[in-house]
Amino acid sequence: MAQPDPYRTLLVHPDADDEIIQVVYRKLAQRFHPDVATAPDAERRMSELNAARDLLLDPVRRAEYDKATSERSARRARTAAREPAAETASPSSGSSASARPAADQQPRPEPTPADRPEAPGGATTGSPPGNPSGSVLNFGRYAGWSLGEIARADLEYIEWLERTPIGRPYRPELDSILRVAGRRRADPVGGAAKASFGRR
């Protein structure tokens, strides 16, 4: 069985530093520790979290993993580049409907479940749903999603992000989103102005 991707296991970007890895690990450990979690797979998840943290906090092992991963990615890219050429060269059935579109017109393939990080409840996040608004994240399970898209799909993630160090640059936006969603009480000073933000 292939080793799980430690970055996906911990929901961190490959460029995340040790402090971010530790913070995210602690949050996930609080959620999945077998002593507190009710999920049947909590013990397995906790074991995966421990293994991922140990690998990523060891500079030598992390460098070896990153190198091996980049080599695998390069091999996959080379294979994918050869496949369209092979399919184009194969005899066609004569139907124009079976003709392969030009490479630049092909839709991007939907990632397989193994390629996508898990979201709460075992669902996968996949591609952004559209109608972006706000800053776009470049890390974690919602990399490529705007904060507005995430808020519509997973408001708990917005709350979690606001509490973490990695969410500091987005805190004003996150606070506004949570206020509009009714997850914040208006401040005594300027509360009326903030409360009106959610009115249309």
**pLDDT of 77-121, one tens digit each?**
787 777 665 555 544 444 444 444 444 444 444 444 334 444 444
Q: Which residues contact 195 (CB under 8 A, 6 or more apart)?
A: 179, 186
* Angular region, 144: left φ>0, alpha ψ -120 to 50, beta rest: left
Give the residue-averaged pLDDT of 172-177: 89
Cα–Cα separations (whole angstroms), residue 7 to 35, 55, 78? 24, 10, 24
Instruction: Report residue 58's pLDDT band, with 50, 70 and 90 as the boundaries.
Output: very high
Choose between 94 and 122: higher pLDDT: 94
| pLDDT at res. 53 | 95
What residues does each domain of the chain span? 122-200
pLDDT of residue 85: 53
Percent share of the chain, pLDDT over 90:
19
Tell me whether residue 12 is exposed, middle or buried, using C-beta atoms within 10 angstroms of its C-beta: 0 to 12, 13 to 18, 19 or more: buried
pLDDT of residue 137: 86
- pLDDT, tens digit, for every residue of 30-44? 888 888 878 788 888
Taking Cα atoms as reference points, which of 160, 185, 188 lies closest to residue 174? 160
Residue 140 has a pLDDT of: 81
Given a contact cutoff of 8 angstroms between Cβ atoms, the answer to whether 150 and 137 are in contact is: yes
- Answer with the residue of higher pLDDT: 128 or 62: 62
Would you say residue 12 has pLDDT above 80? Answer: yes
11 torsion bin: left (phi>0), alpha (psi -120 to 50), beta (else): left
State the angle between helix axes of 42-56 and 59-89 in degrees (0 to 180), rounded to the nearest 10.
100
Question: Quick check: 14 pLDDT over 60?
Answer: yes
